[in-house]
Structure 1
Amino acid sequence: MVSHAAHITTEGIQRFHSSPGAETALVCFAHAGGAAGYYRPLSAALSPGIDVLAIQYPGRQNRRTEPLAGTIDQLVDDSMEALAPWTHRPLALFGHSMGAVVAYEVAGRLTAAGGPPLTLIVSGCRAPGEEPGHEVHVRDDDGLVAEIRRLGGTDTRVLDDPEMRALFLPALRADYRAVETYRHAGGPRLPCPVLALAGDTDPVASPADMRHWAAWTSARFDLLSFDGGHFYLADRYTAVASAVRDHVIALTR
């Protein structure tokens, strides 16, 4: 039996709060350059009703000594391995930006294995088949940092500190390479509902862009828009948590 204590359950999953009575687990996938810790506030807002499992990609935080993944497929393989002990429970998947791509591919893998997720929640990411540009990961360090400044969401003190930049830029570049070289391989639509979340001024994936996710489910599709840009989530955790909670509860009644 899996313990419900708040701890790192495996190398690939972090749990920040104990949710012993929760029937559903929300599996969270971070953006390019991000890590499991990004979802600590969302976990706090949803606990104890929903058990938040934050996927920890290799090469960061507690996995900082491991090689970085070079492709979306590698991130999906790693995530599936981490989730193996949890597939006996209803799983809702939540991914922001690059994390939405990983979550979508994990949803496909779970479905093919006979256990589709309860729902897929995607945020700040264009739908499969609408791949982003392909040049950010080949820029020099200054060019990569310029893109991060454009999107916001990163403390400028980190961006301005050469030592801090040296620590996070390798993971950021690897993630951009993974998502910019990703190509959707096709396949059936997901049988689970899809909820799309968008910042109303997001330059990467506008609410209009996010509507295209409707084509990737044979079940219900919903779209919610929030004030803010690409990293609206950082300032809207309470509102996002409320939307996620309502969505998940409606599916489990």
Structure 2
Amino acid sequence: MTLPTTHDGAHEHAVWLRAFHDTSEQGRTLVCFPHAGGTAGQYFPLSAALASDVRVLAVQYPGRQDRCAEPAFEDVALLADEIARLLVEPEPASSPVLFGHSLGALVAFETAARLEHRYGVAPAGLIVSGMQAPYRRAALRLPGDSEEAALEALLKLGGTDPAITGHPELRAMILPALRSDFRAAAAYQPGSCPSLLSCPITAWTGRDDELTHGDVHAWAEHTTAAFHTRDFAGGHFYLDGFPPLIVEAVRTAVTRTSGSIAQARTRTDI
């Protein structure tokens, strides 16, 4: 599968990278990657809360909402190829911090690897949430290729209103992209790009999620810089709606990157 590309400068950026609020040009840029079935708009509350000092760009994957006419992706590597290219064209901006939740953590990680190793633009930091480190992931079983199985899998994780099952129009909008996202997650294999980064990595999880301590801490092996980890009350979608505690955690993680990147490897659980 190949993703459609228009190479139409500003229009292409606007299609893929959504900016919801005006921010200072001097602020750090935070690029946000949605979970399976997710949309850029889920980062609107975070953008609003950080608008005074952080420029938030949220990725809108193809195949959903205003991009529903485009085929959804089923290859994490191809998706990361496209996003990394957009972040350096027409010329690289200041090094962004990348933030991804669940499937978005894998897309953010692969994008970070391409920025550093393919384009020579190391991100300022990487925040990964709700996902095992790439080489800790066991082979995933698809929840089934039916709409019902995909929706059941999403509802089991929480963070989705069960009332959607009774709305055919909403189901029709969400489920095609969700099924493609699940296939992308199941097919994902690290190694399409060198995976050792020189930027700090911050890894988060919900305390009631199924991730283990080892799943989260293994992200430390993907950086030569600082590593931080933290858990929060809640399940897989502990950050849903971005309550103040999560907003401040994001702000802190972004602020850590505003100076020089740590040269010594440090490990903190905060």
TM-score if structure 2 supplies the norm length? Answer: 0.85
Report the number of matched residues: 246
Counterpart in 1 of 2:144? 138
SS of equivalent to 1:110: helix
In the alignment, the residues of structure 2 paired with residue 139 and residue 68 of structure 1 have an alpha-carbon distance, to the nearest angstrom, of 15
Counterpart in 2 of 1:77? 81
Residue 160 of structure 1 deviates from its aligned partner by 2.9
Q: Structure 1 residues 226, 142: closer, same or farther in 2, change over 3 A?
A: same
SS of equivalent to 2:185: helix
Indicate conservation of the 8 Å contact 1:21/1:49, yes or no: no
Q: Structure 1 residues 132, 232: closer, same or farther in 2, change over 3 A?
A: farther
1:182 aligned partner, one-letter code: Y
1:190 and 2:211 aligned: no
In the alignment, the residues of structure 2 paired with residue 217 and residue 78 of structure 1 have an alpha-carbon distance, to the nearest angstrom, of 23
In the alignment, the residues of structure 1 paired with residue 180 and residue 77 of structure 2 have an alpha-carbon distance, to the nearest angstrom, of 13
SS of equivalent to 2:239: helix
Residue 34 of structure 1 deviates from its aligned partner by 0.5
The Cα RMSD (Å) is: 2.0
Counterpart in 2 of 1:4? none
1:58 and 2:62 aligned: yes
SS of equivalent to 1:136: coil
Indicate conservation of the 8 Å contact 1:33/1:171, yes or no: yes
1:103 and 2:108 aligned: yes
SS of equivalent to 1:249: helix
Of 153, 160, 164, 1:158 maps to: 164
1:242 and 2:248 aligned: yes
1:201 and 2:208 aligned: yes
In the alignment, the residues of structure 1 paired with residue 257 and residue 84 of structure 2 have an alpha-carbon distance, to the nearest angstrom, of 23
1:124 and 2:137 aligned: no
Question: Percent identity at matched positions?
Answer: 40
In the alignment, the residues of structure 2 paired with residue 149 and residue 69 of structure 1 have an alpha-carbon distance, to the nearest angstrom, of 22
Counterpart in 1 of 2:262? none
Indicate conservation of the 8 Å contact 1:35/1:56, yes or no: yes
Residue 208 of structure 1 deviates from its aligned partner by 4.4
Q: Structure 1 residues 42, 207: closer, same or farther in 2, change over 3 A?
A: farther
In the alignment, the residues of structure 1 paired with residue 138 and residue 176 of structure 2 have an alpha-carbon distance, to the nearest angstrom, of 20
1:14 and 2:21 aligned: no
Q: Structure 1 residues 76, 36: closer, same or farther in 2, change over 3 A?
A: same
TM-score if structure 1 supplies the norm length? Answer: 0.90
Runs (4+) of structure 1 exceeding 3 A deviation are none
Residue 156 of structure 1 deviates from its aligned partner by 1.4
SS of equivalent to 1:116: coil
In the alignment, the residues of structure 2 paired with residue 50 and residue 134 of structure 1 have an alpha-carbon distance, to the nearest angstrom, of 35
Of 36, 47, 63, 1:43 maps to: 47
2:21 aligned partner, one-letter code: H
Cα shift readout 1:56-79 (whole Å, capped 9, x = no counterpart): 101112222111112102211221
Indicate conservation of the 8 Å contact 1:200/1:228, yes or no: yes
Return 81-90 or 229-238, whichever deviates more: 81-90
In the alignment, the residues of structure 1 paired with residue 142 and residue 58 of structure 2 have an alpha-carbon distance, to the nearest angstrom, of 26
2:31 aligned partner, one-letter code: V
Mind listing any 5+ residue stretches in structure 2 that lack a counterpart? 1-10, 260-270
In the alignment, the residues of structure 2 paired with residue 73 and residue 9 of structure 1 have an alpha-carbon distance, to the nearest angstrom, of 19
Counterpart in 2 of 1:87? 92
Return 43-52 or 243-252, whichever deviates more: 243-252
2:204 aligned partner, one-letter code: L
Q: Structure 1 residues 74, 11: closer, same or farther in 2, change over 3 A?
A: same
